[in-house]
Amino acid sequence: MSNQDKVRQLVELREKARLGGGEHRIEDQHKKGKYTARERIEMILDEGSFEEFDMFVTHRSHDFGLENQHYLSDGVITGHGTIDGRVVYIFSQDFTVFGGSLSETFALKVCKVMDQAMKVGAPIIGINDSGGARIQEGVKSLAGYAEIFQRNIMASGVIPQISAIFGPCAGGAVYSPALTDVIIMSEKTSYMFVTGPRVTKTVTGEDISTEDLGGADVHTSKSGVAHFKADDEQEGFMLIRKVLEYLPQNNLEDPPLAECNDPIDRMDDSLNEVIPEDPNKPYNVKDVIYPIVDHGEFLEFHRHYAKNIVVGFAHFNGIPCGIVANQPNFLAGVLDINSSRKAARFVRFCDAFNIPIVTLVDVPGFLPGSAQEYGGIITHGAKLMFAYGEATVPKVTITLRKSYGGAHDVMGSKQLRGDINYAWPTAEIAVMGPKGAIEVLEGKNIAKIEDQKERANYFANKEQEYRDKFANPYEAARYGYIDDVIEPRNTRFRIIRALSTLSTKKDKNPVKKHSNIPL
């Protein structure tokens, strides 16, 4: 073969590899409203930046007729490229080859990019669209999964790991995305479950559709397994890029500063009026978030799950920050099992990647009741407390209104190493709300009053007395638990100044193998 022929052969092999499982399977993929593995990579990465590895890999199986079927790349496309000029590693499962199922060689390819991502200190993106373990390969495929899981675990907290689910992701295969930092699911075309509808029906008798068992809606609103639901793959690609804007390349770097043309001293008068006069009335905490962050841009995680707490990324004068905010508009912003888990995971995510945390507090306490107690609210609430107390990144807390009881301590309080704690004049920082407090303190006296009207008056007077004495920020400020009481419209400026002061903050935890967070 002449040298020219050799070059021609290379070009032909590349062409063949690019066709994956063949044209008709690519067509099928498109008919399902899905892009192919390579198209996805092209659209996620900066144009022309993709460098592919292992294009010529094929499987080594000889069973069930596989010896006669070889496809270059073997069902997964791997390599690296850039997003906004920053290096990322990527693997993208190719459903057109054996349904994107995982073989021994497939796993080796994925492990190779994961290892390189760790060496280089760059994020890894995984695109999932697969029928799971390649059935013909048996235990080699299971071992391959476990090799990937182990790498997910070692990479956790070292490099950002982002998973997109754009097709099937079932059985044990779900555990690789589950071990990563962020999961994005596309609506209608993706699903995740440990056990599919057919086996579910056989084992439990439950008759349920794929969508209802593990679709994007389910995992972004009911289970909280996924963080984002994308209307389509295009939106999913955008979300991957967006999330990375806030993240450093690895845990040893700071997150990248963004350009900011939004004046740091921009006042917003609406904030002086956002808290209703009636302390029992709700409001939307996002009406506080949007006016204070740069350009009103807030990337909300878990938007449809545990809506009583809001978490997400924003910039303050270009500094990427995690925001954690109780949401009075939903269940009065109470902390319960799901909101505690959601916020705890987010706080740890921020801390792992050196992202400061801004906490906006309006919390009436923990949700009472047997359902919560039996479900282990004690352990789950402790997770959030643990996450805040363990975090060494800069922490700025603003108490907007209620901050009662244990929930006060949990939500970025001074004693959980809150660095700068401000309160609005509308803040009510106390052991409990006035009504509950008077019931405990005056219950016996009130019971002795026979006249109903007199009793109500007595209660109201006592409630007011308690409110005047304790339901304000000044009692906490008197002890230095609050550093200052600030004017709401000036909140943006005060947060930015706090963050810039804290930019050189150094804090550390005692040396240990690892903590024993109440999981």
171 part of the active site = yes
24 or 506: CB nearest ligand HXC = 24
- Which CA distances in Å does 490 have to 308, 414, 496? 25, 21, 10
Q: How far is the CB of 101 from ligand HXC (least distance, A)?
A: 3
Q: Which two tokens stand for residue 476?
A: 């906490």
Q: Is 111 one of the binding residues for ligand HXC (CB under 6 A)?
A: no
Rounded Cα distance between 261 and 268, Å, is 16
Q: Is 215 one of the binding residues for ligand HXC (CB under 6 A)?
A: no
Asked if residue 359 lies in contact with residue 396, where contact means CB atoms within 8 angstroms, the answer is yes
- DSSP class of 282: -
Closest CA to 127 of 61, 35, 49, 22: 35
Main-chain dihedrals φ then ψ at residue 458, nearest 5 degrees: -60, -45
Size of the site for ligand HXC (CB under 6 A): 15
108 or 120: CB nearest ligand HXC = 108
x/- string (CB under 6 A) for ligand HXC, residues 448-487? ----------------------------------------
20 or 365: CB nearest ligand HXC = 20
29 or 372: CB nearest ligand HXC = 29
Q: Is 168 one of the binding residues for ligand HXC (CB under 6 A)?
A: yes
- DSSP-derived secondary structure for 17-81: HHTTT-HHHHHHHHHTT---HHHHHHHHSPTT--EEE-TT------STTGGG---TTTTEEEEEE
The alpha carbon torsion through 382, 319, 41, 342 (nearest 10 deg) reads: 20
170 or 438: CB nearest ligand HXC = 170
Residues 233, 237, 240, 243: is their CA dihedral positive or negative? negative
Q: Work out which of 123, 131, 364, 418 binds ligand HXC, going by CB under 6 A.
A: 131
Asked if residue 294 lies in contact with residue 260, where contact means CB atoms within 8 angstroms, the answer is yes
Q: Is 322 one of the binding residues for ligand HXC (CB under 6 A)?
A: no
198 or 514: CB nearest ligand HXC = 198
Site for ligand HXC in 65-104 (CB under 6 A): 98-99, 101
Q: Work out which of 145, 193, 237, 366 binds ligand HXC, going by CB under 6 A.
A: 145
Q: How far is the CB of 30 from ligand HXC (least distance, A)?
A: 13
Rounded Cα distance between 13 and 33, Å, is 28
Q: Is 135 one of the binding residues for ligand HXC (CB under 6 A)?
A: yes
Q: How far is the CB of 215 from ligand HXC (least distance, A)?
A: 13
352 part of the active site = no
Rounded Cα distance between 334 and 368, Å, is 10
Q: How far is the CB of 233 from ligand HXC (least distance, A)?
A: 16
Active-site pick, 107, 117, 407, 437? 407
Cα 369-370-375 angle, rounded to 5 deg? 110
Name, in order, each residue with C-beta under 8 angstroms of 157's C-beta and a sequence gap of 6 or more.
251, 352, 353
Q: Is 132 one of the binding residues for ligand HXC (CB under 6 A)?
A: yes
Q: Work out which of 59, 109, 134, 402 binds ligand HXC, going by CB under 6 A.
A: 134
Active-site pick, 121, 157, 172, 196? 172
423 part of the active site = no
412 part of the active site = no
Q: List, by residue number, the catalytic residues.
A: 171-172, 406-407
Q: Which residues in this chain contact ligand HXC in the complex, by CB under 6 A?
A: 98-99, 101, 131-135, 142, 145, 168, 170-173
